[in-house]
Structure 1
Amino acid sequence: METLQNLIGGRWEEPVGEDVVAVVNPATEEAIANFRAGNAEDVDHAVAAAGAAQHEWATLTVARRVERIHAWAEAIAAHAAELAELECREMGKPVGIGRTFVDGAVAGLKAAADQALTYPFSETVAGPGPEGERTDIVRHPLGVTAVITPWNFPVAMVLGALGPLLAAGNTVVVKPSERSPLSTVRLFELAASSGLPPGVLNLVLGDGRTGAALAEHEDVRLVHFTGSVGAGRAVGTATGQRLNRCVLELGGKDPVVIDAGVDPVAIAQAVAFGAFINTGQICTSMERIYVHERIADAFVEALVAAARTFTIGDGLDPATVLGPLVDARQRDTVRRHVEDAVTKGATVHTGGAVPERPGYFYPATVLTGVDDTMLVMTEETFGPVAPISVVADFEEGLTRAAASRYGLAATVYTDDPEHIAAAAHLPVGVVWVNQWQGGGPERLYEPARDSGMGATGARAAYDAATRPATVHIAATAPAVAR
């Protein structure tokens, strides 16, 4: 069994904390690695190392920092298959799907770093005043920052946060989820061997207590956190008390609204992918489906057929489409939501029961007859469950889609221009029309309601990673009195 360590100031070190955490393969329920959870002393050490490295890193030219980040990205790309296998072993994602997301994360890291080359770290603004007078806006790096990531996309979540932070001149302490640290450790091994200076990237392993110590540290100027609503509130409270920044991407209960004029069979295939991929363990999974009554029967039939093609198995097997849930706790949440719906009158068309086999598996499940009293329509399920509610018209679908305490993303399928315009007003960070997960590197968004706070993506990510200061220069210096 592998024993994992922290990376602090360029050195691999055993955590000081005494509590041992096991990493379990969710397909076999076997422990495959362990580590001692870092405590406040480990966090202090990592933050100090990041602070010591920050000035030298910030004084490099932007082009030089981007070059170093690209070198790391190339090293990651060369080990993409290995990283996908590590993700499979630690959290269950099938390797084929995992490889796609690792490749996408590498491309995203490069694109985010490249945006630094055109970002206005220094600009002169025009304004009234005497000739020769000038006002400059200079954006400085914040200093030491922190990234706390969830277990569902270990590689993608780390790389997605780091590009702007590093390219802007900050140094970073990363705390991955205790459920899936293997691939993150490998990322840091590749960083250490690809030319990133010691201390620019630091890794502290641990559980929620470790993350709390990092969020509460007075020298961490920004915390980029992705995770549950409850933990996100704690991070926001901790950073707010110290007048430090946070960017929070939290839970989602993303709706899908399907209009009458679309092909129900084609849309069912798309919804099956959006609801079941990665075993439904995506913040933007399709978790509430509102379908127009005119195409509902055809849509349900096609979605059930599609769900039955999501074969369960160990993600290391190329034939597997649906891997396990990350652990027994997550599977219990999914089972509880489905049982609650059935008890209150919902109908299970396929799936809906834990299979009798080792591993934390749950089948692709389609429910109808759901309503807004059910957990499966109000709370984040984070599993392979597609609950369908039939609506009388598109307006009802939009209204019910908006009636949630979450506001991460939404997907709408319609060919009606007026309906597309109406969908743009949904209270969410991202609206996808006729394609789930669309958009390029220039997109930016801010989650709404309980789904988080802090704009990110493109220029917004650099705005969050820097502090603006104004430098006003008068036309001439005052004359010396004589």
Structure 2
Amino acid sequence: MKRLSNIIDGTPVEAADPELRSVVNPATEQVVALIPAGSAADAAAAVESAQAAHAGWARLDLEDRLGRLSRTADLLERHVRELAELENREMGKPVPLAEQFIAGGIASFRLGIERARSYPFVADVTAPGESGRTVVIREPLGVLALIVPWNFTVTSILGALGPLLAAGNTVVIKPSEKAPLSAARLVELCDLPAGVVNLLLGDARAGKPLAEHEAVKLVHFTGSVEAGRSVAVAAAKRLQRTILELGGNDPVLVDADVDVAATAKAVATSTFLNSGQICTSSERIYVHRAVADEFIAALVAEAEGWTMSDDPYSPGLGPLVDDTQRRIVHDHVHEAVDRGATLLCGGGRPDRPGYFYPATVLTEVTSDMRIMKEETFGPVAPVTVVDSFAEAIDLANTTSFGLAATVYSSTPENLRRCREINAALVWINEWQHGGVNMVHEPWGVSGMGATGAAASFDAATRPVSMLYSPSTNHG
């Protein structure tokens, strides 16, 4: 059994507190590793290492920094399969799916590196005819905390890390205690000066003091609403920044003019992929009455094709991350059934090892059921039939969440109305696609802080204006 250590100043370091936590493979229910439970002393040591490394990293010529980051990307690309297998062991994600998303994370990391070459770290903004000269310099913030969830550990880290490091910051990475194996290996593979990237392991006993540390200038957090609120309060007390992505209860709107079979297949994918453990999974489905019967039948047929498998290399349904998450999913499903929903398939805990849950379809659901109000985070498709696209939009907005939404329609008037949906991401006729220049910020309790394109660099830097008088010799 592997025992993981914090990585501080480029070196594995024993935790201050000897208490350990188990990491469990959710497909086998077997312990696969032990990690430190975490402590404030560990968090302080990681932050101190990042502080010590910051000045040297920030002073590097930009091309030198980007060169080091590019070499790290090259190295990570040679270890995609290894990282994917670690994600499978720690949270059950099928290896082919993990490889796909890790490759996407590396591509995002590279995009951040390339975008840094054109980002205006130094910009002359002198207006025509203005007396004197004004130069805006974007300075790195300093030490940043990157706290990532268990469902896409490597992708979450790499999606954020490029702009943070390229801008000259140093980082402490805190993975979920449920899924630390891939994060530990990623940090080991980083070809960067000691202390630029540090790994802090543990549960809230490590994460809370990290988020509260006075030297941390930005907390980039992905996780639950409750934990995100705590992070925001801690940062507010220090008058420091946060970027928060706090989950969603994402709607799908299926219009009357769709290709029913193709749309049902797409919705099944967005609902059941990674066993529904994606922040932007489809969790509420609103289908127009004109195609409802045909769509529901097609969706049930698709769901029955998503079979549970403990084969790491199977593309089917892997397990949920732990039994706690499976209980949440099961409770949501059966609370809905008890209140009048119709269970068309799935909905039962299988009699087998592992925290598996079958692809499930429900109809006759109502907006006051927990499954329609809370984030279920499982392979469940609750379907509501609507009489118009306008009704679908109204129901889509009956939530405090606002992370993503997906619309399937070819009607121009209805597509124009998609701007009325309260979400950071609105996908039209294809789930999970996106351009390299997209920028988004969560709505409602789904979080705060814009990311993507230049916004990620804006969040990771502080603007300073240098104001030169007309008589200054600029050299």
Same fold (TM over 0.5): yes
Query: Matches of residues 217-256 of structure 1 in structure 2 within 5 Å?
Result: 217-256=213-252
Q: Deviations over 1:413-453 (max 9, x none)?
A: 11011111110221110100001011122111000000000
Which residue of 2 is the match for residue 159 of structure 1? 158
Contact 1:227–1:251 (CA under 8 A) maintained in structure 2: yes
Query: Matches of residues 27-426 of structure 1 in structure 2 within 5 Å?
Result: 27-127=27-127, 131=131, 133-191=132-190, 194=191, 196-316=192-312, 318-426=313-421
Contact 1:312–1:323 (CA under 8 A) maintained in structure 2: yes
Identity of aligned residues (%): 52
Q: Deviations over 1:341-386 (max 9, x none)?
A: 0000111111000000010000000000000111111100000000
Q: Deviations over 1:199-257 (max 9, x none)?
A: 00000101012111000000000000000000000000000100111000002000000
CA–CA separation in structure 2 for the residues paired with 1:320 and 1:396: 36
Q: 1:439 aligns with which of 430, 434, 438?
A: 434
Matched, 1:470 2:440: no
CA–CA separation in structure 2 for the residues paired with 1:209 and 1:378: 30
Contact 1:443–1:457 (CA under 8 A) maintained in structure 2: yes
Which residue of 2 is the match for residue 449 of structure 1? 444
Which residue of 2 is the match for residue 430 of structure 1? 425
TM-score normalized with structure 1 length? 0.97
Contact 1:102–1:156 (CA under 8 A) maintained in structure 2: yes
SS in 1 for 2:283: strand
Report how far residue 269 of structure 1 moved: 0.1
CA–CA separation in structure 2 for the residues paired with 1:303 and 1:36: 44
Alignment-mate amino acid for residue 99 of structure 1? E
Contact 1:371–1:389 (CA under 8 A) maintained in structure 2: yes
Contact 2:97–2:315 (CA under 8 A) maintained in structure 1: no
Q: Deviations over 1:252-286 (max 9, x none)?
A: 00000010001111100000000000000000000
Alignment-mate amino acid for residue 413 of structure 2? E
Q: Deviations over 1:394-416 (max 9, x none)?
A: 00001110111000010001101
Q: Deviations over 1:274-316 (max 9, x none)?
A: 0000000000000000000000001000100001111101141
SS in 1 for 2:290: coil
CA–CA separation in structure 1 for the residues paired with 2:280 and 2:45: 35
Alignment-mate amino acid for residue 344 of structure 1? R
Report how far residue 125 of structure 1 moved: 1.1
Root-mean-square deviation over aligned CA pairs: 1.1
Q: Gaps spanning 5+ residues in structure 2: where?
A: none
CA–CA separation in structure 1 for the residues paired with 2:260 and 2:432: 19
Alignment-mate amino acid for residue 135 of structure 1? T
CA–CA separation in structure 2 for the residues paired with 1:210 and 1:95: 29
CA–CA separation in structure 1 for the residues paired with 2:350 and 2:383: 23
Report how far residue 73 of structure 1 moved: 1.0
Contact 1:312–1:320 (CA under 8 A) maintained in structure 2: no
Report how far residue 66 of structure 1 moved: 1.4
Alignment-mate amino acid for residue 437 of structure 1? Q
Q: Deviations over 1:167-208 (max 9, x none)?
A: 0000000000000000001101111xx3x1000000010101
Report how far residue 129 of structure 1 moved: 5.8
Report how far residue 320 of structure 1 moved: 4.5
Alignment-mate amino acid for residue 50 of structure 1? A
Report how far residue 17 of structure 1 moved: 2.0
SS in 1 for 2:248: coil
Contact 2:221–2:243 (CA under 8 A) maintained in structure 1: yes
Contact 1:149–1:226 (CA under 8 A) maintained in structure 2: yes
1:315–1:283 CA distance, 2 compared to 1 (3 A): farther
* Alignment length (residue pairs): 473
Q: Deviations over 1:98-149 (max 9, x none)?
A: 1111111111110112110000011111336665x10111110000001000
Matched, 1:14 2:14: yes
Contact 1:311–1:320 (CA under 8 A) maintained in structure 2: no
Alignment-mate amino acid for residue 160 of structure 1? G
SS in 2 for 1:475: coil
CA–CA separation in structure 2 for the residues paired with 1:75 and 1:320: 26
1:120–1:340 CA distance, 2 compared to 1 (3 A): same
SS in 2 for 1:174: strand
SS in 2 for 1:179: coil
CA–CA separation in structure 2 for the residues paired with 1:38 and 1:67: 33
Report how far residue 19 of structure 1 moved: 2.4
1:352–1:51 CA distance, 2 compared to 1 (3 A): same
Contact 1:95–1:315 (CA under 8 A) maintained in structure 2: no
SS in 2 for 1:172: strand
CA–CA separation in structure 2 for the residues paired with 1:429 and 1:449: 10
Contact 2:109–2:162 (CA under 8 A) maintained in structure 1: yes
Alignment-mate amino acid for residue 225 of structure 1? F
CA–CA separation in structure 2 for the residues paired with 1:397 and 1:472: 53
CA–CA separation in structure 1 for the residues paired with 2:327 and 2:74: 39
Contact 1:112–1:441 (CA under 8 A) maintained in structure 2: no
| Larger deviation, residues 41-50 vs 121-130 | 121-130
Alignment-mate amino acid for residue 222 of structure 2? T
Alignment-mate amino acid for residue 342 of structure 2? T
Alignment-mate amino acid for residue 40 of structure 1? A
